[in-house]
Amino acid sequence: MQNIRNKAKELMKGACRVCPVCDGRACAGEVPGMGGLGTGAAFKNNVSALAEIGLNMRLIHGAKEPCTKTAWLGLELELPIVAAPIGGMFNFKEAISEDQYILAVLEGCRDAGSIGCGGDGVPPVITDAVFSGIPKVGGWGIPFIKPWESAELDEKLERSFATGCAVVGMDLDAAGLVTLRKMGRPVGPKTPAELRKIVDKAHGAGCKFIAKGIMTERDAILAVEAGVDCLVVSNHGGRVMEYAPGGARVLFGIVRAVGGAVPILADGGVRNGADAFKLLALGADVVGIGRPVSLAAIGGGRAGVAMLFNNLRNELIQTMILTGCPDVASINETALFGCC
């Protein structure tokens, strides 16, 4: 993995420093790019929120060979970690092409028993790569589209369904990207009725629907009432609202508010299997990982992504052994220091 990181650093020179600790400090304000908005506070909040969580070490138990397999939205996964939607290689000095990037993510995730998500944006090369890439892996991918306020919304929904995917998503957390509105491609928040219409359209096409960018208990309840199949607790990697809290800080409250009505995916600041374990212990069913996937894809292609996810699985297994968790379902708040 260090060789892959070194290669990514070489290819992304001027766009990402590939810091030893990816915490948003060196790249604050570098948006577009790898950084967080403004002071980078929200990006840093994601990382610090996870870093502050301690785990209870337990070694008198029988969980010697933990199982990381999980079922999520009808998908059978070897580990409860998926690749978050990221696109826009033009922001990374064209280190690799958009087509190469999305295929590396989709194929690498599939090789490791996970699944990759595809992003959306401007110019169209981002979504074109996603919509052409997912069919190449037999529909084993999740396209995410932005909350467009024009005919682009329906057009991209239809193109998503045509990929053969079983799940589609919308990153509602992109609603504040005013640059898109200035480009004549407006995005914005959705009313409960508008969200319900989108969900119904997805269900009518035979797809499950994910709503990404849920950061409050109120939004979580409204999304569930609108019929979404999964919530994603995410502040968009700290790239849209400067002072948003870290996802780990709000996750437990959202889990309690939803009460198991739908599964929850959480992301933000995940750098290793132990970080993923913490979010699972806070109540997430699945965890998303973003920036490290980009480095793996750019520096190592398909094999690099597969290696990253295999490492994450091994780190997760190690953490499960050290906390006495025999399977994913047994990971809960009792593993968190000071919680129980």
Is the confidence at residue 85, as pLDDT, over 60? yes
What confidence score (pLDDT) does residue 262 get? 98
Residue 32's pLDDT band, with cuts at 50, 70 and 90, is: confident
The two tokens of residue 269 are 């600041």
Nearest-angstrom CA–CA distance, 286 and 276: 8
For the chain, the average pLDDT equals 96
Q: Could you give the domains of the chain?
A: 70-335 (3.20.20.70)
What confidence score (pLDDT) does residue 184 get? 82
267: Cα separation from own chain's centroid: 5
> Where in 18-132 does DSSP place strands (E)?
70-72, 75-77, 81-86, 116-118
Q: Report the 3 state secondary structure along 165-188.
A: CCEEEEEHHHCCCHHHHHCCCCEC
Is the confidence at residue 182, as pLDDT, over 90? no
Nearest-angstrom CA–CA distance, 215 and 249: 9
Is the confidence at residue 326, as pLDDT, over 60? yes
What confidence score (pLDDT) does residue 95 get? 92
DSSP count for the chain of H helices, then E strands: 11, 10
Highest mean pLDDT range out of 100-104, 119-123, 181-185?
100-104
User: In angstroms, how far is the first alpha carbon of the chain from the final one?
Assistant: 36
Nearest-angstrom CA–CA distance, 333 and 340: 7
Q: What is the mean pLDDT of residues 141-161?
A: 96
- Let me know: does 71 contact 286? Beta carbons within 8 Å: no
CB atoms within 10 A of CB 40: 22
What confidence score (pLDDT) does residue 37 get? 93
Residue 338's pLDDT band, with cuts at 50, 70 and 90, is: confident
Is the confidence at residue 110, as pLDDT, over 90? yes
**53-75 pLDDT tens trace:** 999 999 999 999 999 999 999 99
What confidence score (pLDDT) does residue 181 get? 77
> Strand pairing partners for 71?
76
**256-273 pLDDT tens trace:** 999 999 999 999 999 999
Residue 179's pLDDT band, with cuts at 50, 70 and 90, is: confident
CA of 272: how far to CAs of 47, 201, 252, 317, 319, in Å?
11, 36, 20, 11, 10
CA of 243: how far to CAs of 42, 239, 249, in Å?
5, 10, 13
| Phi and psi angles of residue 35, each rounded to the nearest 5 degrees, phi first | -75, 180
Q: What is the mean pLDDT of residues 131-136?
A: 98
What confidence score (pLDDT) does residue 52 get? 96
> Minimum mean pLDDT among 60-64, 73-77, 178-182, 313-317: which range?
178-182
Q: Would you give the DSSP letter of residue 145?
A: E
Nearest-angstrom CA–CA distance, 248 and 280: 10
Select the more confidently predicted residue: 150 or 53: 53
- Let me know: does 159 contact 135? Beta carbons within 8 Å: no
Nearest-angstrom CA–CA distance, 273 and 1: 15
Nearest-angstrom CA–CA distance, 326 and 315: 14
Is the confidence at residue 340, as pLDDT, over 70? no
The two tokens of residue 203 are 């269900």
> Strand pairing partners for 86?
118
- Residue 184's contacts (CB-CB under 8 Å, 6 or more residues apart) are none
**195-244 pLDDT tens trace:** 999 999 999 999 999 999 999 999 999 999 999 999 999 999 999 999 99
- Let me know: does 190 contact 173? Beta carbons within 8 Å: no
Residue 185's pLDDT band, with cuts at 50, 70 and 90, is: confident
What confidence score (pLDDT) does residue 12 get? 94
